[in-house]
A = this chain, B = another copy of it.
Amino acid sequence: MKLSQRGEYALRALLVLGMNHGPGVVRIRDIAQQQNIPRRFLEQILNDLKSAGFVVSKRGVAGGYRLQRGPEEISLADIIRHLEGPLAPVGCVSVNYYQRCSCPDEGKCAIRSVMQEVRDAIVGVLEGVSVAHLCDRVRDLQGPLENPLDYVI
């Protein structure tokens, strides 16, 4: 698993939305400014996250985005799987994006058995962390702030 720029931007955007989760929406422009993401590119990314069902949008003057489900219900594994494809280092050990490889017998492939362990290790971490957990980490890492709006991601 390797996180592309696009993937990192997506995570950051979702984290902003997680931190501001509520009835209201957040504008693309604000996310882009706060996180230093090219606005046009972020539009594209959020659109993608929308068709994948992670966020919903509101159009027009007071428009913007918010999370579709609660932040506890969105795991990083889900997000990254959607953005980058398989979490596994090779297709033949991927559960969600399995692809047969060229070796004659997968059950007897030593390399595959190691990659299986790598996959499990990666998935183990990423399934266990939700957007809500990320938000908790932000708060823990920042420590107590005077102004609660004055955080950084």
Using a CB–CB cutoff of 8 Å, the interface residues on chain A facing chain B are 1-3, 8, 11-12, 15, 36, 76, 89-90, 101-105, 107-111, 113-115, 117-118, 121-122, 124-126, 129, 134-135, 137-138, 141-142, 152-153
Contact = CB atoms under 8 A, between A and B. Distances in A.
Contacts of A135: 110
A147 to B, nearest CB: 15
Nearest to A88: B2
A121 B87 CA distance: 13
B125 A118 contact: yes
B153 A8 contact: no
Given A3-B89, A3-B115, A121-B125, 18 more contacts: A1-B1, A2-B2, A8-B90, A15-B110, A15-B111, A105-B152, A108-B142, A108-B152, A110-B134, A113-B141, A114-B125, A114-B126, A114-B134, A114-B137, A118-B125, A118-B126, A121-B122, A121-B124
Which 9 pairs between the two chains have the least Cβ-Cβ distance? A121-B121, A110-B137, A108-B141, A110-B138, A3-B89, A117-B125, A110-B134, A118-B125, A3-B90
Contacts of A138: 108, 110
A8 B111 CA distance: 9
B103 A153 contact: yes
